[in-house]
Amino acid sequence: MRIVILKSHLLQALQTISKAIPSRTPKPILYGVHLMAVADHLQVTAYDLEIGIQTLIVQSEDPNDPTLQIEQEGSIVLNAKYLLDITRKLPHKLIRIDVNDLTATIHSGSATYILNGMDSREYPQLPIISEEMCLSMSSDVLLTLIEQTAFATATSEIRPTLTGVLFSFQEPQLHFIASDSHRLSIHAVQAETKYAYEKLEAIIPGKSLIELIKILPASNVLTDVYIADNQLLVSFELTKFYSRLIEGQYPDISRIIPTTWRTAIEVDPKQFTGSIERAALLARENENQVIRLYLRRTHIEITSHSPDIGKVTETVDPISFEGEDLQIACNAKFLLDALKVLNTEQVRIEFSSPGSAFILKPSTKERPLHLILPVRFGPNA
């Protein structure tokens, strides 16, 4: 294998696939990046057996374009961390990589590195996923779906299905649903499909989706999503992202979403977030990061206290107030997480009782929707 490539293109490809390099693994070859020069492109792959990312650098038809020139086809596996660090520091914009057996010689300007490689035939193959049935959307839409839900997945493996996001498609609506049993987040969009089928469901690991949003373009790039053979494939531009799915039945969440409310307020999310953050400074000292909201028609009082440190009280004026006065306690972090992803000028919060889940959503539409269970406290607490 012999290639000449622009440093910027190789660096971008390595940064993209680095999300699939494990931090710890008993299989040394998984620390590597698989490089394969074929015909008119360089294929760059990383796969930790849970997440796989593959991207292409394509040779230009213009012989004077230095993006990539393939002089000899071939493949090798090189340590991803060292290759990425070396590429960052190379002094010239052009890089030559010559592979002889299991050794790669990297030239750039006056710098030369010789790296020991591994046999590409021993590198695990990416899953083969049927690409017949796919959903299509722009990458920024998929990005929003993930950002509005993935943060609410569980971190504990006690209930494995809750560590994932439920992907539920029933034409034309695609729902993403996440819950850790203390909170719930739902978002829905319209998705296009080439094939008509009644319903498609899968549970995608939350960790995989968090890595996916790091490489998804925040623009209207056409993105295809495939679900098949217990695997996810997301394809956009010259990149493919793979993830295994979580097996099991996702809990039925339809019954826990309140359909009525007793008190509803609308608030400025920036102002309300600032107040919650200040109250949370003391709430961090208690187990559930508890803050208390006293909802009154004239103002909302936010308090938290720590027996060892002290107490904080702040008031916020609601934009609107409907219903009865109400007192409720909740986890400050859960409330802040929901407020921070709701990209809207006004947030509506609906409460049904001090002991029941309450809902946050944009004032002008039903989705995204975030539900939080309150923290119960006694009359003298």
Residue type, 258: P
| pLDDT tens column, 196-255 | 666 889 999 999 999 999 999 999 999 999 998 899 999 999 999 999 999 999 999 888
Percent of the chain with pLDDT over 90: 82
pTM of the model: 0.93
Same fold, 2-122 and 134-254: yes
Q: In this structure, is the dihedral angle defined by the CA atoms of residues 43, 94, 76 and 74, taken in order, positive or negative? A: positive
Contact 337, 151 (CB under 8 A): yes
Query: Domain locations in the chain?
Result: 2-122, 134-254, 257-372
**pLDDT confidence of residue 196:** 66
Pairwise CA distance, residues 255 & 240, whole Å: 37
Q: Is the CATH number of domain 2-122 3.10.150.10? A: yes
**pLDDT confidence of residue 378:** 56
Sheet with 263-267, edge to edge strand ranges: 200-205, 164-170, 173-179, 183-190, 369-372, 358-362, 347-351, 263-267, 320-323
Contacts of 287 (CB under 8 A, 6+ apart): none
Contact 342, 348 (CB under 8 A): no
| pLDDT tens column, 143-155 | 999 999 999 999 9
Residue type, 105: T
Pairwise CA distance, residues 177 & 175, whole Å: 6
Contact 147, 249 (CB under 8 A): no
| pLDDT tens column, 161-209 | 999 999 999 888 999 999 999 999 999 998 878 776 668 899 999 999 9
pLDDT tier for residue 377 given thresholds of 50, 70 and 90:
low
DSSP-assigned letter for residue 83:
H
Pairwise CA distance, residues 272 & 276, whole Å: 6
Q: What number does CATH give the domain 257-372?
A: 3.70.10.10
**pLDDT confidence of residue 181:** 93
Contact 17, 45 (CB under 8 A): yes
**pLDDT confidence of residue 381:** 45
The DSSP element (H or E) to which 241 belongs, if any, is strand 239-244
What fold does the segment set 134-254 form as a domain?
Answer: DNA Polymerase III; Chain A, domain 2 (3.10.150)
Pairwise CA distance, residues 373 & 370, whole Å: 10
Q: How far is CA 133 from CA 68, 79, 193, 196, in A?
A: 33, 35, 7, 9
Q: 324 φ, ψ to 5°?
A: -100, 160
| pLDDT tens column, 272-321 | 999 999 999 988 767 779 999 999 999 999 999 888 889 999 999 999 99
Contact 210, 145 (CB under 8 A): no
